[in-house]
Amino acid sequence: MTKKTAAAAALVLAVPLLGAAPAEAKPLAFGPCPFEGAECAELAVPLDERHPEHEIMISISRVRATGTPEEYRGALLVNPGGPGGSGLEYAVSKGAKLPEQVRRAYDIVGFDPRGVGRSAPLDCGDLGGLFQHPSPEPVPVGPDQERAHLDRLSAQARDCLRHNPNAAAMNTTSTARDMDRIRDALGEEELNFLGVSYGTYLGAAYAHEFPENVGRMVLDSVVSPDRWHDFDVLQAHAMLHQRDVLFDWIAARPDLGLGTTREEVRDTYTRARASLSSADDDFGAGARNAFGAGEFDNLVYKTLSRTERWRPFAEALRTYVGSGSTESLEPALPEPDPESRNYEAALRTVKCNDSARPTPEEVPADIRALRAADPHPILTGLEATTCAFWPNPAEPARLGHPDMPPVLLTQADHDPTTPLPGARRMQALLPGSRMITARNTYSHGVVASQNLPCVDDPTATYLLTGQLPDRNTTCPGPGLPT
């Protein structure tokens, strides 16, 4: 056992929850991988720290550093977000976008977190009818619809718990322990890590469990440290503001034919959405088959997170308004394929196991508050509403630690998926950490994502040298799309 691993054991044994530190792992045996340019391995980890004899396999991928031995800095573990995002192929796709000097210096290592992809994947069955299309109207109005909405959430929770007897072990703290076992199996004294979106929450949880093992950690597009339901509600309000920005952007482009003021565009949008809930519509196409208002809201949710999706969405909406055809409105998650079923299952299971649950009374109250802000809120991201019918978490995630080293946070100022106020609250839990904020930036994901040297260059410097900016900084972002 290395000195650092021994120190980790001493620290975690002092904590009164599931107090065992990960045992020293065997070296990984990398071999063929289905992703070009990568090699893959598996690592056995305990399903539950209290019962280490029951193991699951964690799937890991690696893209080797391209530089000289003198340039080599070790392994950089990456996570794409979620909860529920697979990281195996991400090591290839994200690695290819990172600055060249980072790719030369680091092996880029991805993994499927427990419950995801090839690592003991979760499947919640029908998830309360989540995969039936067209879905019911997603925004309940009035007591009867609110009761029906709660019934669907209750059915989601029952499906997950019935299909997954080990669901309680699928949580962020357990994944953080898995990450430390990966670190040890790679022969690394410290964990270097790049986490995006939920990956920032995962990184903060790792820092709490293993502060002395934190190496160079970049947290991009930062999740709030609040309980998951409160974060989801914060995001839903930010999505409403972002949709107004989208309406203004469309209105400034008369060629799109959807209106020349925010109000005109909103009216076109609202009539189109309403028609998708009805066989009798304003656009002459009749029943919508598999694409209804719920699917439309899923598409809008995805559209609002990345500005490069705005024009394709507006053009697809124009086609629907003009012809009644939904073919150009790309179907959005959730779909009934295994990958999507796994993602939706892991998303809810991990959130419900990580933080205090909302009450069944809070859920409709928060939806009413969103409806008061706008009659047509987007509820797609409110996955933690399922947790109202979930057992209390056995091991809630704990984030940050007074003894951790400073790390780097990067953030877009108008990111609706991980809003800036929540990112600042997370930073407050990470002592001495620095944040680079990209101004006038409306998309989710900043590092090696927006082509911003003022973010990517200092990130590369930090990963290569450990040097952080001497203070929080801002830099100009790309603005809205042309």
Hey, what are 34's tokens? 């289905």
Question: Is position 323 annotated as part of the catalytic site?
Answer: no
Element containing residue 251 per DSSP (H, E): helix 228-251
Taking residue 60's Cβ as centre, other Cβ atoms within 10 Å add up to: 28
Residues 6+ apart with CB under 8 A from 149: 140, 363, 364, 367
Residue tagged active-site, from 178, 415, 443, 456: 415
Question: Is position 248 annotated as part of the catalytic site?
Answer: no
Residues 6+ apart with CB under 8 A from 168: 353, 391, 393, 394
Contact 67, 195 (CB under 8 A): no
Cβ-in-10-Å burial (0-12, 13-18, 19+) of 16 comes to: exposed
Half-sphere CA count of 474, side-chain side, radius 13 A: 10
Question: Is position 444 annotated as part of the catalytic site?
Answer: yes
Amino acid at 436: I
- Start-end of H helices in 324-477: 338-354, 362-373, 420-427, 453-465
Residue tagged active-site, from 119, 224, 444, 456: 444
Contact 192, 213 (CB under 8 A): no
Residues 6+ apart with CB under 8 A from 152: 128, 129, 136
Residue tagged active-site, from 197, 224, 275, 443: 197
Residue 51 C-alpha from the chain's centroid: 29
Residue 242's beta-bridge partner residues?
Answer: none
Residues 6+ apart with CB under 8 A from 70: none
Q: Which long-range contacts (CB under 8 A, 24 or more apart) does 41-45 make?
A: 43/178, 43/181, 43/182, 43/185, 45/114, 45/177, 45/178, 45/181
Active site residues: 197, 415, 444
